[in-house]
DNA sequence: GGATAATATGACCGGAAATT
DNA sequence: AATTTCCGGTCATATTATCC
């Protein structure tokens, strides 16, 4: 890799114009990927990689519109960045992420000149991805922000919004003020700008709730005897802050920060395309979200995605307050929304039937082991594996000949047993004759890592990146 | 400018409560 | 009494802020 490194050195040493620097950098990343694939072809062993080190010039933290709204289990932007840059010479600059989540791949794709095609079961994820990738007119956002403040102080009534357990999460007066604020947002005529303010509002509903900000799912923040006096004092301080919070003032703080993020992104990448929604279910993709024309076979040159890992994260429950507030799902609809999501946390109790599943023998054995400890966990895992294999069927179908599929995933624990998501996905793609070109392993010393929560839950210590070619 | 403290962030289940 | 649903709960680490 000596030549590549010296090329990279040249990037900083010589006074090249910026487009030339970009080209050299793209070439370097392209060659890095080729070299890793050659190495994998020779040795057939996974290659260790540290994406943070490889893409060291990409700072983590609050960059562009990445942090416009909190969302669980965000992908490391470095991974999306690397694979998009390495495929910059595609003639058709399309990239599909059927599990778009908060839109990390979509944002990186849009700033690098790709049209992102996205799907997700969670309507909040789709809204967030759209807002993240839209090059808003800043002046228009500021005008609407002022109009909202103007209306907010005049409106006295607003429709009641149905929230799960509202008294647990909000002061009654705050709930009412939030409803009035939401009324002003609902009256915004332009749909794109309305989406922007809805996302800001959604952040606010978490910020002024009594939910512990340190836990992804809503959990009431409260002091405990076992905590140290310092921790308890901090908790009390936050509880006091919530009680005295000024709704419109906090809203404007969030709006200003997000306008700043959009401004920065507009300045750096003025010509970027908004993500196009192609479905809610990764198992059946369409040309548009609102029609019934299936996405054509062999039409997508690049897929970059990170699917849910088993039932590891409670995406629906983690966004339940937002979903209720934005009326994307009422409290009663949360369950049915979860039923549409792959990697769900709940399942109605019925006996485990292993013969129906048609899963590989070693996975059947694993499910038996899990069932011995907890039959419900085994059924959730079985459902997950069956649905993921259907996802692979769909991705293999829409991928163009010679197209690449990048899958970022981790292995998680179920009842103390390791679930090898990576091996399972490899077997699924190989059924469709997609060639496994590369396995990368990154020890994630990042915030993507969930820590040990209880006796049986374990730490996910590394992420696997699989590269397939059709 | 380097050390240290504070802050922000987030790929797990089990058991209580409700229902049948 | 059995089954099903619902809901509550952490801590390691990267990044940022503050101190000297």
User: Per-residue DSSP letters for A421-433?
Assistant: HHHHHHHHHHHTT
* Spatial contact of A326 and A198, defined as CB atoms under 8 Å apart: yes
Distance (Å, whole) CA A110 – CA A120 = 18
Q: Is A445 part of any domain?
A: yes
> Residue A214: inside a domain, yes or no?
no
Looking at the fold, whether A258 and A371 belong to one and the same domain comes out as no
Question: Strand C: which residues 296-315 of A lie within 7 A (CB)?
Answer: 314
Position A312 pLDDT exceeds 80 = no
Give exposure, A326-348, as e/b (b: 16+ Cβ within 10 Å): bebbeeeebeebbeebbbbbebe
Nucleotide of closest approach to A334 (CA, C1'): C6
User: Which pTM value belongs to this model?
Assistant: 0.91
Q: What is the pLDDT of residue A55?
A: 83
A294 and A421 inside one domain: yes
Is residue A316 one of the residues assigned to a domain? Answer: no
Which pLDDT value is given to residue A64? Answer: 85
Compute the residue count for chain A: 470
Distance of CA A121 to the CA centre of its chain: 11
- CA of A224: nearest nucleotide by C1' is C9
Q: Average the pLDDT over A209-236 and give the result.
A: 72
Do A28 and A63 lie in a common domain? no
The whole-number Å distance from A55's CA to C8's C1' is 39
Question: Percentage of chain A with pLDDT > 70?
Answer: 86
* Joined tokens for residue A86: 């390495």
Across chain A, mean pLDDT equals 83
Q: How confident is the model at residue A443, as a pLDDT?
A: 67
| A256 CA, C15 C1': Å apart | 22
Same domain, A449 and A345: yes
Quote the domain boundaries for residue A262.
138-208+245-268
Confidence of residue A42 (pLDDT cuts 50, 70, 90): very high
* For range A19-37, the mean pLDDT: 88
A87 and A165 both lie in a single domain: no
User: Do residues A218 and A320 touch, judged by C-beta distance below 8 A?
Assistant: yes
A238 found inside a domain: no
A304 and A449 fall within a common domain: yes
Does A348 score more than 90 pLDDT? no
* Any domain includes A225: no
Both A185 and A85 in one domain: the answer is no
Indicate the pLDDT class of residue A229, thresholds 50, 70 and 90.
low
Total number of domains in chain A: 3
Residues A181 and A303 in one domain: no
Regarding whether A279 and A157 lie in a shared domain, the answer is no
* pLDDT of amino acid A311: 62
Strand C–CB A59 distance below 7 A: yes
The answer on A393 and A289 residing in a single domain is yes
Average pLDDT estimate for A298-327 = 84
Among the listed ranges A7-16, A125-134, A425-434, which one has the minimum average pLDDT value?
Answer: A7-16
Same domain, A430 and A336: yes
Q: From the Cβ of A446, is strand C under 7 Å away?
A: yes
Report the CATH number at residue A334: 3.40.50.150
Q: Measuring from the CA of residue A419 to each C1', which nucleotide is nearest?
A: B11
A97 within domain boundaries: yes
The answer on pLDDT for A187 being more than 60 is: yes
- Does A187 or A387 have the greater pLDDT score? A187
Q: Are residues A293 and A375 in the same domain?
A: yes
- In a domain, residue A234? The reply is no
Least confident of A41-50, A337-346, A398-407: A337-346
């Amino acid at each position: 890799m000596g030549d590549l490194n010296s090329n990279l050195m040249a990037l900083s040493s010589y006074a090249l114009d910026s487009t030339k620097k970009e080209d050299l950098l793209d070439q370097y990343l392209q060659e890095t990927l080729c070299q890793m694939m050659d190495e994998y072809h020779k040795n057939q062993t996974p290659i260790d990689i540290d994406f943070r080190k490889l893409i060291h010039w990409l700072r983590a933290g609050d960059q562009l519109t990445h942090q416009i709204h909190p969302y669980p289990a965000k992908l490391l932007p470095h991974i999306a960045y690397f694979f998009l840059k390495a495929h910059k010479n595609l003639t058709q600059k399309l990239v599909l992420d059927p599990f778009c989540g908060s839109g990390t791949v979509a944002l990186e794709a849009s700033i690098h000149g790709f049209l992102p095609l996205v799907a997700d079961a969670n309507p909040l994820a789709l809204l967030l991805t759209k807002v993240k990738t839209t090059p808003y007119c800043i002046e228009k956002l500021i005008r609407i922000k002022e109009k909202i403040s103007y209306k907010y102080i005049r409106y006295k009534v607003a429709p009641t919004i149905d929230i799960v357990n509202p008294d647990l999460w909000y002061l009654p007066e705050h709930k009412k003020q939030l409803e009035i604020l939401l009324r002003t947002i609902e009256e915004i005529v332009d749909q794109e700008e309305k989406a922007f303010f809805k996302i800001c509002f959604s952040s606010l509903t978490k910020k002024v709730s009594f939910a512990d900000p340190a836990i992804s799912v809503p959990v009431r923040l409260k002091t405990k005897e076992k905590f140290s006096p310092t921790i308890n004092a901090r908790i009390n301080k936050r509880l006091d802050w919530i009680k005295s919070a000024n709704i419109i003032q906090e809203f404007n703080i969030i709006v200003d920060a997000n306008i700043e993020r959009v401004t920065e992104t507009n300045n750096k990448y003025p010509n970027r395309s908004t993500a196009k929604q192609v479905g809610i279910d990764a198992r059946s993709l369409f040309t548009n979200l609102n029609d019934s024309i299936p996405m054509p076979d062999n039409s997508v040159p690049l897929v970059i995605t990170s699917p849910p890992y088993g039932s590891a994260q409670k995406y629906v429950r983690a966004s339940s307050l937002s979903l209720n507030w934005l009326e994307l799902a009422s409290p009663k609809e949360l369950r049915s929304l979860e039923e549409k999501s792959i990697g769900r946390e709940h399942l109605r109790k019925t006996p485990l039937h292993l013969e129906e599943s048609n899963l590989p023998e070693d996975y059947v054995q694993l499910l038996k082991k899990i069932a011995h400890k907890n039959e419900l966990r085994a059924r959730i895992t079985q459902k997950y594996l069956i649905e993921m294999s259907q996802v692979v069927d769909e991705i293999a179908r829409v991928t163009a000949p010679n197209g690449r599929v990048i899958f970022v995933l981790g292995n998680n624990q179920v009842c103390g047993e390791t679930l090898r998501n990576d091996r399972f996905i490899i077997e699924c793609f190989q059924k469709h004759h997609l060639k496994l070109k590369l396995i990368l392993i990154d020890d994630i010393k990042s915030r993507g890592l969930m820590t040990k929560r209880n006796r049986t839950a374990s730490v996910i210590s590394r992420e696997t990146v699989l590269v397939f070619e059709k």
